[in-house]
Amino acid sequence: MFTRSELSRLLSSAPSLGASIFLPTHVLGREVRQGPIRLKNLAAEACNQLVSAGLDQAEAEAFVEPATMLVDDYGFWQHQSQGLAVFLDGEQPRHFKVPIPLPERVAVGPGFHVMPLLPLLAADGAFLVLTITADKVALYAGSRFELAEDETADLPRSIGDLPGEPDYENPVQASPVARPNTGTINVSNAQVYGDSPADWSKIRRVEFVRRVATGLNDHVAANPVPVVVVADTELAGHFQKLSSLGPRLIGVVDVNPESLDPARLHEVTYAVVQPHLDERRNEALERFQALSGGGDPRAATAVEEVVRAAYAGRVDTLLLAEDRAVSGRYDQAVDRFAEGESFATAGGDLLEAAAVQTLQSGGDVHLTNQDEALSGHPCGAILRY
């Protein structure tokens, strides 16, 4: 899944010349065969645009070769979702199979074009799901479309990852009365000095959940989205006591996650998170309208003002009208703002730039199809100051 972390990694490469290719794909049926044809045509279009950007024909063909190699990869096309995004920079190609239909589009220019993927990152659709059993810990990046396992967090994978003996052993010796133990008590020592099997097992489970909670706390600090936990009553209770997620932890599903297949796991967790996500979007719209109606300067609708504020890290919440684009480019280094259709071919979308900068500075982005919410403007922003 395309997540905020993937966005940051993608944009950190910041190529002076990049090609972004988007196309719809299909999971089943005869339509699956349309994917290779579409990608072949789009790769050819990207090649032509690269030549127009200054590369010679051989350089352009080498640039798009990672995409053309996918065309004949039969196995690749047998495992698709609803959309495919391919990013080329001449060195390290990247592709993402995403659960939303993407438009057929090619953009060649500085950096990468990511606007078609923003619905996956919108604040009314992104969340995390943590599943915990003694045998397996898994983290999923979620959207309103699907769950995809996220292996970027530093989490223990099972209780077996803890140091010490995995099974209780009856103590064979005890500390003499005249020589009390003064060292640090840990799980392995606790079993030696006489804890019962039940006590020892509980200590081990609590330490296991503590490590899971700590790892997830650190992960969410860099990826601030709502979290739903799925675990049995005991493990879920320990997690709630040990976690410092605060309001980011919006719900717990008290069930053994091993009993849920992926589709059912998404269904039950999205049912928990959806009211929260919808409420956040509606609250953002209401707050923006209240500030705008009162003439508060923290409500901005002019594209240039919003873009400059986003680059300065001043946008707390960005509201974007769905299916709107404003062609242009902002060069922060020289503080130069330009708007016009001449930027459209290279994928220069000012709304996309504002959204990316808002996400990278920890702000929220919401998409809305309510034209009246933004009074006909393509965007609206609630500024931090």
Q: Pull the structure tokens for residue 51.
A: 């030549």
User: How far is 203 from 208, CA to CA, in rounded Å?
Assistant: 9
Residue 106 and residue 21 in contact, taking contact as beta carbons nearer than 8 Å: yes
At the top level of CATH, the class of 127-274 is alpha beta
% of the chain exceeding 90 in pLDDT: 54
Query: How do beta strands 227-231 and 249-254 pair?
Result: parallel
- Digit-coded pLDDT (tens) for 48-90: 999 999 999 999 999 999 999 999 988 888 888 889 999 999 9
Output the DSSP codes for 150-199.
---S---SSGGGSSS-SS----S----TTS---S---HHHHHHTT--HHH
**To 10 degrees, the CA torsion angle through 292, 298, 301, 303?**
180
- Digit-coded pLDDT (tens) for 337-377: 998 877 766 657 899 999 999 988 989 999 887 666 788 89
Residue 69 and residue 86 in contact, taking contact as beta carbons nearer than 8 Å: no
Residue 1 and residue 148 in contact, taking contact as beta carbons nearer than 8 Å: yes
Indicate the SS3 state at residue 126.
Answer: coil
Residue type (1 letter), 40? K
**Boundaries of every domain in the chain:** 4-113, 127-274, 297-383
- Digit-coded pLDDT (tens) for 123-168: 666 789 999 999 999 999 888 888 888 888 899 999 988 876 555 4
DSSP secondary structure code for residue 133 in this structure: -
Range with lowest mean pLDDT among 75-89, 191-205, 269-283: 191-205
User: How far is 269 from 67, CA to CA, in rounded Å?
Assistant: 35
Q: Pull the structure tokens for residue 259.
A: 């009993």
Q: What is the CATH number of domain 297-383?
A: 3.30.1330.30
Question: Considering the chain, what is the average pLDDT of its residues?
Answer: 86
> Which residues are registered as beta bridge partners of 299?
382
Single out the residue of 227, 310, 349 nearest to residue 276, CA to CA. 227
Instruction: Report the CATH architecture of 4-113.
Output: 2-Layer Sandwich (3.30)
